[in-house]
Amino acid sequence: MRSFYGTTLANPLMLGTAQYPSPAILAEAFRRSGAGVATVSLRRESGADRAGQDFWAMIADLGVPVLPNTAGCHSVKEAVTTAHMAREVFDTPWIKLEVIGHTDTLQPDVFALVEAARVLSEDGFQVFPYTTEDLVVAEKLLHAGCEVLMPWGAPIGSGLGLANEYALRSMRAHFPDVPLVVDAGIGLPSHAARAMELGFDAVLLNTAVAKAGDPAMMAEAFSRAVLAGQAAYAADPIEPRDMAAPSTPVIGKAFLE
């Protein structure tokens, strides 16, 4: 099992903490998921009256590594500032770096993303960049100091799954030694299992669990899916073929007249 900046996850599911119907349902979803990482966004507007302190305490009680993110940031300055605030609040060098460039698709601004990744890496952050599946951008992020890549499966919250499986397979083949996480767009456990079958090291999702009719049950389903996909990849599955191949050998079979 691959490590992320020296940390090996107990479970390759990274689960977000937003949009749940209640804190109790959030806690139950995490318990049943066995998720290896909790992702959280920093709500900057709640600092004066410490309105978010109960939430931060609940996240700490989950007992898993916390991955703060810069969700909602649209510029290098905004993302870097948010990352510094998150490091102070959560006491971790980890940061999921988002710099959004397109309003409708929430596609990353890859130019700003690379620059922000460089600034944060130089300042001691361990950056998890939310990016596209573009190989050139991936190379630039690695050169900027990132040791993990997080390509999107599809637009955030869309539930479309793996929109460009060819590109994701190419990224896995091109960066065999880099920890890769499919982030965003996952809607079903089968999508998560497929990502792991392609050789990805983890899957990050939020909406598919938080907005499900039964978030805790869905969280458990996703946990089983990522573990099944991981095991399938490790087992070296057969290659698909166009022609049938009999599972029962015909050599030596008796011929009846």
Strands 126-131 and 150-151, how do they pair? parallel
DSSP assignment string, 158-195: -----TTHHHHHHHHHH-TTS-BEEES---SHHHHHHH
> Is 185 marked as a binding-site residue?
yes
> Is 207 marked as a binding-site residue?
yes
> Is 71 marked as a binding-site residue?
no
- Asked if the model's pLDDT at residue 144 lies above 70, the reply is yes
Per-residue tokens: 247:
């599972």
In the structure, what pLDDT confidence band is assigned to residue 238 with cuts at 50, 70 and 90? confident
Burial class (CB in 10 A: 0-12, 13-18, 19+), 155: middle
- Say how far apart CA 122 and CA 117 lie, in whole Å: 8
Region 15-44 average pLDDT: 89
- Asked if the model's pLDDT at residue 151 lies above 50, the reply is yes
Domains and their CATH numbers in the chain: 13-235 (3.20.20.70)
- Asked if the model's pLDDT at residue 187 lies above 50, the reply is yes
- Asked if the model's pLDDT at residue 156 lies above 50, the reply is yes
> Is 159 marked as a binding-site residue?
no
- Asked if the model's pLDDT at residue 42 lies above 90, the reply is no
- Report residue 234 CA to chain centroid gap: 19
- Asked if the model's pLDDT at residue 49 lies above 80, the reply is no
| Per-residue pLDDT tens digits for 57-96 | 788 888 888 999 999 899 999 999 999 999 998 889 999 9
Q: Please report the pLDDT score of residue 255 as a whole number.
A: 60
**Catalytic residue annotation:** 96
Hey, which of 13-27, 58-72, 120-134 has the most confident mean pLDDT?
A: 120-134
